[in-house]
Structure 1
Amino acid sequence: MSPADCYHFGLIVPDIDAAATGLTQLAGYQWTRPIEAAMTIATPTGETTADVAFVYSVQAPHIELVRAVPGTPWTTSPDSAAHHLGFWVDDMAAAVDRLESAGYARELEPLGDLAGTFGYYVHTSGVRIELVARKYFTDWPGFLHSMAR
């Protein structure tokens, strides 16, 4: 992992459309179509299924707007939408080992077909990192433009 691997920051919002519209009006962002899925996840308290929805800004620095899902790590405090920094990784196991050695704890990872594609890790300082396997997005700019609204 390096600073160059940090490709997005995530915000948790109650209403993706409202947040995207506000940022478009403010700064001219264009957004991908929503990606929605029922996802089985593992957390330190056990397994659960969450209905997840998110969009990315087409323009860099990339913003990920994630719809809040109560009872999961996809929540945030009422006065802050800031949630995580997303990093591309080429070797998920090595990156997880590096984070754990630095004091980060696993907060969330997908199960089933999505196992090994991403995971959230949180430090006692409150910093949350999302690791994303680069091999699933070999053409990130192409993905963004193909999904643009």
Structure 2
Amino acid sequence: MNTDFLDAHDRHRQDADLLFEASRWANADHLYGVAAECGLKRLMMLFGMQVEATTGAPKNLQDRAHINEAKKGSAWDRYESYRSGYTAGASYPLPTINPYADWDVAQRYAHQSHFDEVRAKVHQNGANVVHVLIKKAKLDGLFS
């Protein structure tokens, strides 16, 4: 099964929005992080990130980092390195502060009482920032 970062971005964001509207903060929060990460990785592909032909996974192990992983270079930071090396990359900036610094993929195991609307809203906003970049890339004809 090949990786499809664009489809994953869209469906995780849509599901996160449904969960957010139902006040299911923990799962919404988790999916907003996954959605943003998938969207960034798809944009990184546009800007030169190489992926394995058979799986679609990033070839460079650093590009497999999650959106928050500061030690390895988060997907947020890796995106910036690809964007800055791309001719039209100036049109696709992210905020300098990563809204996912407090997010972790392992939070899916945490008790739901650790999540609230405020936390989920921050991550919803981050996913929306990435979604706007995805929509711009579509309008600019960068996706086939």
Larger strand proportion of the pair: 1
TM-score by length of 2: 0.25
Larger helix proportion of the pair: 2
